[in-house]
Structure 1
Amino acid sequence: MTSFVLGNLPFPGQGGDQVVSKAVSSAIAALFKRTGKLEANVRAEPVAKLLQGSVDGFDFIGHSMLMYNGLRIKAMELFVQAVSIDFGAIFKGQVQIKQPTQASLRVVLTEEDLTTSFNTPFVVEKLQQMQFEGKSLYFSDTEMVLNDDKTIELTSQIRVGSTSASPNFISLTARVEVFNRTKLAFVDVTCGGTDQDIALGKAIVEHVNALLDLDSFALDGTQLRIDKVRMRNKELVFYGVAHINQFPTKK
């Protein structure tokens, strides 16, 4: 009976695990504006468990992912624990989980990803919420460089106030650390330039650190917890856990 049902799924030549794998891949791809290669592999042994919605887990690997807010990700890997799903929802193009689960997580960002992300309206608008000496700030040409000594260099052209004659060139170097698994922060910051440039740079770091709450970047229905951050080969790599209360959907 099981082989008859799975063998007559509305996807010729595919088993239940392949159907669910494709549905998961499509559902995750829909969360992003653009993606490169995506692959999800659902594990269920025996496959008949899928009829009751039982999944041993699934692995997801994605490359070259662009979020709708403009943030870029070079690679993302999720390794999801056992979970119960609504198998009937799969045929509606939906992925619905019946109880919370969690996944180990690995995310890779390049220099280009970071630079592009810091120049998106999504980030620029958040940066411009701060004021310096009672005046609004206007950011442009922000660039991020990952150095061989494990530090990050940030440079930006910043006008203080709308009537500023010329922008301040801000250059600062810092390390990235994670605190309480929930926040990222620039630490051991050094700034160059005039006294005003240094004061402005330090004020910007304080503002950016206040924004780097992981929950503000998580997809709906998920929580991110980062255990470790590594920098190597001009890439920033995050290792952690995603707590999934419901399968996220596009806002």
Structure 2
Amino acid sequence: MLGGLTGFNNNPGTDWGEKMLNTVASQSIRHLFSKSESVEVFVRCSPSNKLLQGSIDSFKMNGRGLVIRRQFPVEEMSFETDAVSIDFSSILSGKISLKQPTQAIAQVTLSETGINEAFQAELVTKRLQNLSSDSLSELSGGQPVSFNEVHIELENGNRIRLFAKAELPNHGTVPISMLMTLAVERRRRIAFQNPVFQSEAVPESLREISQSLANALAEVLNNMVDLDRFDLDGVTMRINRLETQGKKLLFSGYAQIEHFPKTG
């Protein structure tokens, strides 16, 4: 459930402003996500009468069980803004309009299960189908290659174990298994680095071609996971750091908020 707001004194005028801002902010934040198990909103404004001039000290959101664009599960997400300047008249019309963009510290937690669900999303699977490149053409005789059933296991040290299957003309289904290291490039792209082929998971007769396909898949993934493709409406996110912790992948960074969201 969407939480209340804190930081206001208890007088009738402030109560009215608090309830109004609570309702409008809750509706705006909810539209960020296709689904949400829990979203809590906290606004800090001291003294409280600054709200009438549209000045808020900070705005904080904590969410759990979120889904972005109907296909990308997020276990937890939180952000806290710098001071925010809003058009108070917009609140009266049921909207929140920023007078100027603001930045926020952001943290995101993905679960291993959620990441594997995301690999089944249409936006992801279609980028793994009917691929062609010089290296793949050599393996397939010039025919397109598709990768399916991508599955990852998170390990310590920002490592992942990745399994997949490739559909290759003249060879049929070829299993793939490799270890990789996750890293951040240009603060917006997730890089799959240092692939190490795991031969024991592949039949001996297919190991040579499986290793070549594994290297090709690593190259494809390196060019695929870019945050600019997943930006929320009005929100641009950048990553400072990522870390695996057990079966979770944690990101920390910042968000540039141009306007409050209109769509999820």
Cα deviation for residue 153 of structure 1 reads: 1.2
- Structure-2 residue corresponding to 1:35: 36
In the alignment, is the contact (CA less than 8 A) between 2:32 and 2:233 conserved in 1? Answer: no
- Structure-1 residue corresponding to 2:12: 7
Query: Aligned pair 1:154/2:162, yes or no?
Result: yes
Look up the equivalent residue of 2:165 and give its one-letter code. Q
- Structure-2 residue corresponding to 1:173: 179
Aligned CA RMSD, in angstroms, stands at 2.2
Structure number with greater CO (CA < 8 Å, separation at least 6) is: 2
Query: Aligned pair 1:241/2:251, yes or no?
Result: no
Query: Aligned pair 1:58/2:59, yes or no?
Result: yes
In the alignment, the residues of structure 2 paired with residue 20 and residue 246 of structure 1 have an alpha-carbon distance, to the nearest angstrom, of 16
In the alignment, is the contact (CA less than 8 A) between 2:188 and 2:226 conserved in 1? Answer: yes
- Where structure 2 has 5 or more consecutive residues not aligned to the other structure, the ranges are 1-7
In the alignment, the residues of structure 2 paired with residue 87 and residue 165 of structure 1 have an alpha-carbon distance, to the nearest angstrom, of 65
Which of 132-141 and 207-216 deviates more? 132-141
- Where structure 1 has 5 or more consecutive residues not aligned to the other structure, the ranges are none
- 1:106-165, Cα deviation, whole Å (9 max, x unpaired): 00001001000001111101222632323333343221111245411111222135xx66
Cα deviation for residue 191 of structure 1 reads: 1.8
In the alignment, the residues of structure 1 paired with residue 156 and residue 13 of structure 2 have an alpha-carbon distance, to the nearest angstrom, of 56
Look up the equivalent residue of 1:240 and give its one-letter code. G
The alignment of Structure 1 onto Structure 2 pairs a total of residues equal to 241
Query: Aligned pair 1:213/2:219, yes or no?
Result: no
In the alignment, is the contact (CA less than 8 A) between 1:22 and 1:40 conserved in 2? Answer: no
In the alignment, the residues of structure 2 paired with residue 129 and residue 81 of structure 1 have an alpha-carbon distance, to the nearest angstrom, of 45
In the alignment, the residues of structure 2 paired with residue 222 and residue 151 of structure 1 have an alpha-carbon distance, to the nearest angstrom, of 29
In the alignment, the residues of structure 2 paired with residue 53 and residue 174 of structure 1 have an alpha-carbon distance, to the nearest angstrom, of 48
- 1:169-208, Cα deviation, whole Å (9 max, x unpaired): 1112111111221221011211234121111111111111
TM-score (norm 1): 0.87
In the alignment, the residues of structure 2 paired with residue 246 and residue 201 of structure 1 have an alpha-carbon distance, to the nearest angstrom, of 41
- Structure-1 residue corresponding to 2:17: 16
Cα deviation for residue 22 of structure 1 reads: 3.6
In the alignment, the residues of structure 2 paired with residue 183 and residue 204 of structure 1 have an alpha-carbon distance, to the nearest angstrom, of 16
Cα deviation for residue 19 of structure 1 reads: 3.2
In the alignment, is the contact (CA less than 8 A) between 1:62 and 1:75 conserved in 2? Answer: yes
In the alignment, is the contact (CA less than 8 A) between 2:157 and 2:243 conserved in 1? Answer: no
Look up the equivalent residue of 2:249 and give its one-letter code. L
Identical-residue share of aligned pairs (%): 30
- 1:20-42, Cα deviation, whole Å (9 max, x unpaired): 23422321212222111101101
In the alignment, the residues of structure 2 paired with residue 212 and residue 129 of structure 1 have an alpha-carbon distance, to the nearest angstrom, of 18
